[in-house]
Chains A and B, each alone.
Chain A
């Protein structure tokens, strides 16, 4: 009977034997007999379709059966039959991989002139620039981070840029969202960004996706791109982008900003690194971490962090340098210092750990504890008052105390002091509740109505009944009552 030599790594699935005697006149029969004797070997030797795996070679003496009569090759007892793995590796990038099937696109004369400062660097050169042209990058958001990302990636010659956004340009965006201009206020961000980016570089393709990224569409959208870059500032989308890119094996270039602080990393478990969930397994309770709209952000900060993200994307594509995989870069603009933390993959991670429990996208609003409005408040029909109603009652001479729960620097921008409003920042509730009387009619007000709803809950719990929340906050007041009031 002929025998088949088993490679070291598979012997544990073959009863510990280094060679197994098999029956058969032809090599195909012999291999089938081996698999019948040791069924555990099957999944190591054959793929789901029952074909030999691409890295499994069968040799008879010194010849690969692929060069003989394949499975039909006749064997005799004196033949040395071996299972031999193909061993291959490479430092290929995503773009290289695709280049394996389709050659990298050529650069035309105009492109060569445009990218000449890249081309004369050996780290980029013609090959790197062609990889950039072959690459596709999806930007989630065209706001603070998305602006510098879009501008530089377009200028660098990324062949296909995808933009996802459904917002319109607001005046308060222009302090940092430099892809949009004053003339674009009121336009969909995605159109404004597309116009600006195609002006910067007409050689690239820009795909616009004007909708909110959701669990239902994220996989289909991200699947079509090599790299995804998260430029959003809410936790639902951040977990959604993370989970979708891990499930699809795509690198996720992460950045986040708040006030004077920023962070960046590259989450890429398929290449051995951790994911966002390894860093933050759970989102913070809703409302604990203020968004940039609530807490503010230095306009330059997204420029710095976005440009770091763009740099990482380009490095991944051209395969140069050390990527931020497994490292979290922290930036403090006030101290003007960068710090770096080593990130390790969490073996217990429910997404990329050793026993993952998340195998599909989930409901991220629910995961992050987001409910449209507080249930308690919704059941209370007349808990809110509109700016127009409030103005009417004030004009009728009703005594109403307006409590502004914003921060002092917001108060300085605009306020309702002329109607007797007083400032008690939300953070000082409930310590200053004693300043209020349960006998007064109180209207709580903030910028947009969110924080004042929290103050409403606090007062209600303390037994206040004559309270109302100003619907839409001072911005709604400016829109419907006093157009002269500055908006921010």
Chain B
């Protein structure tokens, strides 16, 4: 079940992580499902609403989420995942991520930011029993031809 991203999506996520470094950033992934594949159509960068521990915690506003759902609905898209950054940490889910991941159907993108520069971007999915994450393949546009 790969996740398909356009190069500009990857660039937007990396840029967002670099912009907020050394603090974490986050945002939502809007797109569609094609069979088992998740096709991302738009990245929606959002504010980190945490007041404390912003260097290793990110939280998105529920109202922003509601707005994203409305926006997605208007365009026949859905909210199929979210991304966040790990400043100076690997692009691997933490135990905190595991405890707080809402949906087993979502994609979880993590970008590692090292010394202010974006490094790895990796995708993860949550098992149906919520016991752990499994890595997903990221397919970028060069490898994927969207259906007309």
A residues with CB within 8 A of B: 5, 7-12, 18, 44, 54-57, 59, 62, 64, 82, 84-94, 96-97, 249, 269-273, 319-320, 322-323, 325, 345, 347, 352, 354
Binary CB contact string for chain B from 50 to 94 against chain A (1 if under 8 A, 0 otherwise): 000100111110110110010011000011101010111110111
Contact B59 A86 (CB under 8 A): yes
B residues in contact with A5, CB < 8 Å: 66, 69
Asked if B37 CB lies within 8 Å of chain A CBs, one says no
Name the interface residues of B1-54: CB closer than 8 Å to any CB of A.
24, 26, 28, 53
Contact B132 A352 (CB under 8 A): yes
Contact A85 B102 (CB under 8 A): yes
What distance in Å separates the Cβ of A229 from its nearest Cβ neighbour in chain B? 18
Contact A55 B69 (CB under 8 A): no
When chains A and B are docked, how far (Å) is the Cα of A320 from the Cα of B88?
A: 7
Chain B interface residue count, CB cutoff 8 Å, equals: 49
When chains A and B are docked, how far (Å) is the Cα of A56 from the Cα of B65?
A: 12
A residues in contact with B97, CB < 8 Å: 89-90
Contact A91 B26 (CB under 8 A): no
Query: Among the listed B65, B78, B89, B135, which residue makes an inter-chain contact with A85, where contact means beta carbons less than 8 Å apart?
Result: B65
A residues in contact with B80, CB < 8 Å: 8-9
10 A-B residue pairs with Cβ-Cβ distance under 8 Å, sorted by A, are A59-B63, A88-B100, A89-B108, A90-B56, A91-B24, A94-B95, A97-B96, A270-B95, A271-B95, A320-B88
CB-based closest 7 A-B pairs: A8-B78, A85-B102, A91-B89, A91-B86, A9-B103, A92-B96, A89-B84
Contact B66 A354 (CB under 8 A): no
When chains A and B are docked, how far (Å) is the Cα of A61 from the Cα of B103?
A: 23
Contact B62 A57 (CB under 8 A): yes
Chain B residue with minimal CB distance to A344? B135
Contact B134 A345 (CB under 8 A): yes
Contact B63 A62 (CB under 8 A): yes
A residues in contact with B94, CB < 8 Å: 89-93, 271
Contact A8 B72 (CB under 8 A): yes
When chains A and B are docked, how far (Å) is the Cα of A82 from the Cα of B94?
A: 28
Chain A residue with minimal CB distance to B54? A90
Chain B residue with minimal CB distance to A251? B95
Asked if B141 CB lies within 8 Å of chain A CBs, one says no
A residues in contact with B62, CB < 8 Å: 57, 59, 64, 84-86
User: Other than the known A55-B101, A86-B62, what 8 A-B pairs have Cβ atoms closer than 8 Å?
Assistant: A89-B110, A91-B88, A97-B95, A269-B132, A271-B94, A272-B124, A345-B135, A354-B127
Chain A residue with minimal CB distance to B58? A89
Query: Among the listed B58, B89, B133, which residue makes an inter-chain contact with A272, where contact means beta carbons less than 8 Å apart?
Result: B133
A82 in contact with B96 given A7-B79, A88-B58, A91-B87 (CB within 8 Å): no
A272 in contact with B69 given A9-B105, A64-B62, A89-B84 (CB within 8 Å): no
Contact B90 A322 (CB under 8 A): yes
Chain B residue with minimal CB distance to A84? B62
When chains A and B are docked, how far (Å) is the Cα of A269 from the Cα of B89?
A: 17
Contact B56 A96 (CB under 8 A): yes
B residues in contact with A54, CB < 8 Å: 100
Name the interface residues of B103-140: CB closer than 8 Å to any CB of A.
103-106, 108, 110, 124, 127, 131-135
When chains A and B are docked, how far (Å) is the Cα of A9 from the Cα of B100?
A: 15
A residues in contact with B58, CB < 8 Å: 88-90
B residues in contact with A272, CB < 8 Å: 92-93, 124, 132-135
Contact A84 B133 (CB under 8 A): no
A92 in contact with B133 given A82-B66, A270-B95 (CB within 8 Å): no
What distance in Å separates the Cβ of A64 from its nearest Cβ neighbour in chain B? 7
A residues in contact with B131, CB < 8 Å: 249, 270
A residues in contact with B60, CB < 8 Å: 87-88
B residues in contact with A93, CB < 8 Å: 94
When chains A and B are docked, how far (Å) is the Cα of A93 from the Cα of B59?
A: 17
Chain B residue with minimal CB distance to A89? B84
B residues in contact with A62, CB < 8 Å: 63
When chains A and B are docked, how far (Å) is the Cα of A271 from the Cα of B105?
A: 18
Chain A residue with minimal CB distance to B30? A8
When chains A and B are docked, how far (Å) is the Cα of A193 from the Cα of B70?
A: 63
When chains A and B are docked, how far (Å) is the Cα of A249 from the Cα of B131?
A: 9
A residues in contact with B84, CB < 8 Å: 89-90
When chains A and B are docked, how far (Å) is the Cα of A173 from the Cα of B139?
A: 52
